[in-house]
Structure 1
Amino acid sequence: MASFAKYHTAKGERWLIKIALTDPLTKEKIKTTRRSEAKLVAKQLEAEEAKQNKNIKSHYFYKDIFLEYEEEYSKHLKPSTIYRKSVDFKNWILPTFGEKRLKDITKKDCQKYIDFMSTQLKSYKPIVIQARNVFDFAIQNDYIETSPFNNTVYPKTTIFEDDEKLEKFWDKEQSLYFLERLKATGTLKRYALFRTLLLTGMRKGELLALQENDLHEETQMISITKTLFYDENGNYQLLKPKTSSSVRDIHLDPETFAVLKDLIRQNKKLRLLSGEKVKHKFIFIKESSFEPFRNSYVNEVLNKLCKRFELPRITVHGLRHSCASLLFAAGVDIKVVQKLLGHAHIETTMNIYTHVTTEEIEKTTDLLINYLNEPKKKSSGGQKVVKKPK
């Protein structure tokens, strides 16, 4: 509260105001005095103090408000999503905003950040949205009044504009060659793993989460009901698949079903020999621990196999794309392919179909040009009479 004291000067009657204000960060009381129209100044100072106290957290660092925001959103997301977000914040957001106070971050800072991010990543917008979500959280909790991201804009073009390509994939001949070589030279586990990926179009996490009871002998089907996730501490978790459409049953061809059964029998023998009791009976396991492989392991092995078999290098996701291309080439309906691959939206399946057919058209054009450029064969008989077209 303020105290007032009247005193006289040569110019007339004046007021001395003494007031104690609270520092919003240290909570210390700061005494100040003013000489003026007493009541008016006191009201102004008290209003200033009330405003500071209301928006006290605007003086906090961005990183501190982020921790509050993280605690809130973590209640509603899957562990894998929480982990991805934390990585994004650590690598792309906190280095820019973390050590700044909310009140000091300007629209210019935010626009500069957007422009920078557009030069670093193809899919930079989701990260920018995460950065601005912290400000929206602060507004909802009355820490600040407006977001400095308001009225910022995304660049119309980026350096990645011409580099948006779908995954590379193998055609029929390359796929068959890969399976033949792997069957002849690889282990049962590797053959079963990559045959299943290539001929079912499963995602990596879906495949590595498969357990023995997901294989159904009476129907020759395999059920996809979960996905595998390893956290930053090296502990695995079984989560729900990417979307509700990802939960599905896939009918296996006889050979794929047979090699999976053989692999399960091999795993059972290993468990009996070791006496190991396991919580989850995964199909694709590390023989040393009976735990599932990490996601990165599958890509590492595929890279080596591509090099050994002298095939175009593709990723595990490229095997999924290859499966789709083989299904299209076999005349399978697009809606059926969508269901088999577990796509939530038909547009995703259509994009692959368009990519596949575009590449086939390009190959056909190349064949035509090669044919036209072939050297003319010399005639072994008499001369042929060629009539000019009318």
Structure 2
Amino acid sequence: MASFSKYKTTEGVFWLIRITLTDPVTREKRKTTRRGFKKLSDAKFAAKQLEAEEASLSKNSKSHYFYKNIFLEFEEEYSKHLKPSTIYRKSVDFKKWILPTFGEKRLKEITKKDCQKYIDFMSTQLKSYKPIVIQARNVFDYAVRNDYIESSPFNNTVYPKTTIFEEDQKLEKFWDKEQSIYFLERLKATDTLKQYALFRTLLLTGMRKGELLALQENDMHDDTQSISITKTLFYDEDGNYQLLKPKTSSSNRDIHLDSETFTVLKDLVRQNKKLRLISGEKVKHKFIFIKESSFDPFRNSYVNEVLNKLCKRFELPRITVHGLRHSCASLLFAAGADIKVVQKLLGHAHIETTLNIYTHVTTEAIEKTTDLLINYLNEPTKKSSGSHMGVTALKKQKNHPN
């Protein structure tokens, strides 16, 4: 409540305000005096403005909080509904890409200009930068929902129309038939049974690496020569592995294996059993792809590291593990497989994902076919009687029959 008093100075008579306000951060009461008003009406108007400002700050009391503090609140809320692997991945993204920019700033200090600058910066750092921007924006949306701020500074920001990344880099690179065969032949001839089994399975089944590393001996079925995908592997920050549900319900599937792949996996299972017998180690989960020192499954990063080395050693185009999955789909399409069958084999939840790969593959096939046509047309024409007669010659023959 404000009180008003007159006071005199050598310059004349003025009005002052005495008002008690609440600190928006500490919530402590503090007395404030404002002087220099020539009219009582001016003093009352100023008092109403101070009270309105206090009410706004009280409503949005956490606008003075640092972004990193609100992020922790937000993280606690959304983590209740996500898998540990997703929480971990998002946490890594926040620490690397978001908190360095916004973490030490108060919510009320972050402007639309700051957010637009952030979007423009991220577009130069990552091909798939938009999910990171959305994560940063979600914290502000959470603050708005909880009345910490009135509106998000990300409102009305825009994504750049073009980025420094080429359009053709949006899809993973993949190997063709000749490269795939060469890779498997070299791998079989020069590497270990485990490496051959691992990458042959990835390339010929299109499994995700988390699905492959989660495979256990009881997932293999001798009667049907198949393997069941029912889980995915995740390592947390403390280095402990967890077995989680697959990415989507469509990811639960049985995959029929060719005879060689099935035989190689069975050989690897027998090798693992011998190792356990020699060591006397009792294990909770009998994984197929294991560290021989601990019988634990490999980390996801291990597969990437080995594949990079193999690409270099075999002088093949560098490809990611997801690129092997793309290669599998490409080979299936080239062999004439139905799109719905490929979708089920790869465990795609949406047919659009499968169609994107199909479109990419068929586009390349069309380009190669066009090249074949041009090469054919550029070949020297062989002289012959009748069969290769030009249009003009045919007309002359028609107009002047023998």
TM-score normalised per structure 2: 0.86
Please give the residue correspondences for 1:235-384 in structure 2 after superposition, counting only pairs within 5 Å.
235-367=240-372
The whole-number CA distance in structure 1 between the counterparts of 2:182 and 2:12 is 104
- State the alpha-carbon separation in 2 of the partners of residues 103 and 322 from structure 1: 49
Q: Would you say 1:52 and 2:51 are equivalent positions?
A: no
SS in 1 for 2:228: strand
Give the match for residue 67 of structure 2.
Answer: 62
Other-structure match for 2:107:
102
Given the superposition, is the C-alpha separation of residues 5 and 358 from structure 1 closer, same or farther in structure 2, using an over 3 Å criterion?
closer
User: How has the CA–CA distance of structure 1 residues 375 and 97 changed in structure 2, closer, same or farther, with 3 Å as cutoff?
Assistant: same
CA distance 1:362–1:56, change in 2 (3 Å): same
Indicate which of 179, 182, 196 corresponds to 2:184.
Answer: 179
Structure 2: gaps of 5 or more residues:
395-402
C-alpha distance in structure 1 between counterparts of 2:11 and 2:319, whole Å: 89
**Whole-Å separation in 2 of the counterparts to 1:15 and 1:172:** 89
What's the offset of the Cα at 1:6?
A: 7.7
Secondary structure of 2:149's counterpart equals coil
Cα separation, 1, equivalents of 2:20 and 2:106 = 25
CA distance in 2, matches of 1:15, 1:287: 85
Q: CA deviation at 1:45?
A: 4.1
Matched residue, 1:24: 24
Residues 127 and 170 in structure 2, CA contact (< 8 A), matched pair in contact too: no
Equivalent residue for 2:398?
none
> 1:380 maps to what in 2?
none
Moved more, 227-236 or 189-198: 227-236
Q: Is the 8 A contact 2:5 2:16 kept in 1?
A: yes
Q: How does 1:125-164 map to 2 (within 5 A)?
A: 125-164=130-169
Displacement after TM superposition at 1:128 (Å): 1.5
Q: Cα offset for 1:27?
A: 3.8
- How far apart, in 2, do the equivalents of 1:40 and 1:224 lie? 71
Alignment partners' CA distance in 2, 1:46 and 1:369: 79
Q: Return the letter of the residue paired with 2:147.
A: D
Identify if the C-alpha distance between structure 1 residues 32 and 388 changes in structure 2 by more than 3 Å, giving closer, same or farther: closer
Residue 340 of structure 1: CA displacement?
0.4
Matched, 1:89 2:94: yes
Q: Which moved more, 1:267-276 or 1:168-177?
A: 168-177
The 8 Å contact of residues 18 and 32 in structure 2, kept in 1 or not, is answered as yes
Distance in structure 1 (CA, Å) of the matches to 2:138 and 2:163: 23
For residues 178 and 86 of structure 1, what CA distance do their matches in structure 2 show?
Answer: 36
How far residue 233 of structure 1 moved from its aligned partner, in angstroms, is: 2.8
Cα drift, residue 189 of structure 1:
1.0
Contact 2:339/2:354, CA 8 A, preserved across alignment: yes
What is residue 239 of structure 2 aligned with on the other side?
A: 234
What is the CA RMSD across the aligned residues, in angstroms? Answer: 2.9
Q: C-alpha displacement at 1:214, in angstroms?
A: 0.7
| Change beyond 3 A, Cα 1:243–1:45 | same
Give secondary structure in 1 for the equivalent of 2:81: coil
1:207-226 equivalences under 5 Å are 207-226=212-231
Which deviations, in whole Å up to 9, do the C-alpha atoms of 1:274-317 show, x marking residues without a partner?
11111211000010110111112212222222333333332222
State the TM-score, normalized to the length of structure 1.
0.88
One-letter amino acid of the counterpart of residue 53, structure 1: S
Which residue number corresponds to residue 33 of structure 1? Answer: 33
Q: CA deviation at 1:42?
A: 5.3
**Larger CA deviation: 19-28 vs 265-274:** 19-28
Q: Aligned partners of 1:169 and 1:16: how far apart in 2?
A: 77
Q: CA deviation at 1:374?
A: 7.3
8 Å contact 2:23–2:30 — kept in the other structure?
yes
Q: Secondary structure at the match of 1:74?
A: helix
Unaligned stretches of 5+ in structure 1? 378-382
